Structure 1
Amino acid sequence: MLDALPIILEPSGKAKRYARSTRVWHWLNLLIICGSLGTVLVNSLLFDHAQRTFVRSELANAGANVSDKQAAAVLHGLEDQVWAFHIYFGYALTVLFLFRLIAEFFLSAEQRIFPKLKRAYQNFWVLKKYRITARHELLVKGLYLVFYFLLLIMTLTGLLLAFQEQTGLSKDVNHSIKEFHGFSMYLILGFILLHIAGVILAERKDEKGMVSDMIGGGDA
């Protein structure tokens, strides 16, 4: 399988600003994260414990008389089904994260994140050339590293929660992991919003065509 990676990951023809592997990962990652956040939103809005009265009322209108405990069991069952999809999205996110790590080794030096970060650092602190541009590049690549670190936390904590019965961790530890997992999700959401705002500003100023470049690759 690894022998086929250069064929899959390397851009064909003329050199591109963004490699095919980076573009595929970018858009699939966006879809998976949105899907994962969607499951959280559905459970928070539709299957909250406050909906017990609504469930009892609807079942009563249908001719069924159920208790508050039975209504809670219905909600809990629906919530578990949605969480099952959340877990599948988590598995997909883990696979994509591993794909991104492997793909990095097959990119050219101009497209890898650490060489880019090193060049921006040298331009800003050592050579002092184009300091404004270098500072912007240094900030952007630094935020990307933070984003990758958050993805790592999300995947690791998510896997621990998905396999909590196998890990044998205590209930209190799993609760802390769940809280940290949820907090990381909000940080990732914040990064996505910041990223979208940055792209909009860049498109309106001096980096027009960023979105189309992330779709088609752009010229290096």
Structure 2
Amino acid sequence: MSTIEPIRKDVQHPAQVKKYSASLRLWHWANTIVISGSLITVLINSTLTDDHSTSSFMKDELNKAGATVTADQAKSVAHALSDKTWDVHIYFGYALAALLLFRLILEFFQLADQKFIRKLKSAWYQFQTTKQNREAARHELTVKAIYSVFYLLVFIMVATGLFLAFEDALAAFKSIRHTVKSIHGFCMYLILAFIAAHLAGVFLAERKESKGIVSDMINGGGQ
């Protein structure tokens, strides 16, 4: 489990705590809210507003109340309710796309020592050249590699999500809709796995030598 624990100290300067810009911290917490909201809408639509279970429930309850409702009518209402939930999911998708664009632009304007690409290259260089603190360098490189996969997954989620959201305008590519939807759903599970690993890593880090890493992402670190 130690492999997934984020490191609070700067690998190049072990005496210093990593710094996080206000823009990066804003992106981090906004991203947390948007991804959580998106996943919650998926959970709701697969449970509370599932077409089959919801239509049966509506039909039974309305019949008990004295109304005459057919199975098709109940299914139509349930489907409309499900569509409303998916509309919210789509809005979260737009927000995620905007945050991804913001993160890409931010990478160009971050201070040099806070750029993700530079940190990734630095971790690789440290791992390749350093003799001292080699374990820390390997650990930092592993964590940065996992974050790189996360960014790639978010990009795929956004790209496939936008395709599905604008599928009417992309009718010429209708033949690949099922494949795109499958990729979108599969990436969701991978992101869930990343979230679980990230939370576990942060929890473990807070209990060890990286205590304070959560507050660093709130106050900026470097203290």
TM-score by length of 2: 0.88
* Number of the residue aligned with 2:33: 31
State how far apart, in whole Å, the 2-side matches of 1:172 and 1:44 are.
25
Alignment match of 2:134 (pick from 131, 134, 137): 131
- 1:52 CA drift (Å): 2.5
Change beyond 3 A, Cα 1:131–1:16: closer
* Number of the residue aligned with 1:192: 195
Secondary structure at the residue paired with 1:78? Answer: helix
Alignment match of 1:144 (pick from 125, 144, 147): 147
Alignment match of 1:177 (pick from 180, 187, 194): 180
Can you give the 5+ residue segments of structure 2 that lack an aligned partner in the other structure?
1-16
Can you give the 5+ residue segments of structure 1 that lack an aligned partner in the other structure?
1-14
- 1:42 CA drift (Å): 0.7
State how far apart, in whole Å, the 2-side matches of 1:172 and 1:46 are.
30
Change beyond 3 A, Cα 1:106–1:139: same
- 1:47 CA drift (Å): 2.0
Q: Which moved more, 1:206-215 or 1:110-119?
A: 110-119
* Number of the residue aligned with 1:54: 57
Identity %: 54
State how far apart, in whole Å, the 2-side matches of 1:63 and 1:24 are.
52
Amino acid at match of 1:103: L
* Paired residues for 1:62-211 under 5 Å: 62-211=65-214
- 1:127 CA drift (Å): 2.6
TM-score by length of 1: 0.89
- 1:219 CA drift (Å): 1.1
- 1:63 CA drift (Å): 2.0
* CA deviations over 1:145-201 (Å, ceiling 9, x no partner): 100000100100000000000011454411211111011111111101100100011
State how far apart, in whole Å, the 2-side matches of 1:22 and 1:94 are.
16
State how far apart, in whole Å, the 1-side matches of 2:172 and 2:94 are.
20
State how far apart, in whole Å, the 2-side matches of 1:113 and 1:171 are.
36
Q: Which moved more, 1:48-57 or 1:202-211?
A: 48-57
Task: Give the root-mean-square deviation of aligned CA atoms.
Answer: 1.5
State how far apart, in whole Å, the 1-side matches of 2:87 and 2:208 are.
43
* Number of the residue aligned with 2:23: 21
- Structure 1 consecutive aligned stretches of length 4 or more whose deviation exceeds 4 Å: none
Larger RCO (CA under 8 A, 6+ residues apart): 2
Q: Would you say the 8 A contact 1:123–1:129 is kept in 2?
A: no
* CA deviations over 1:33-88 (Å, ceiling 9, x no partner): 11001111111111221333211111112221111111111110000000000000
Q: Would you say the 8 A contact 2:45–2:82 is kept in 1?
A: yes
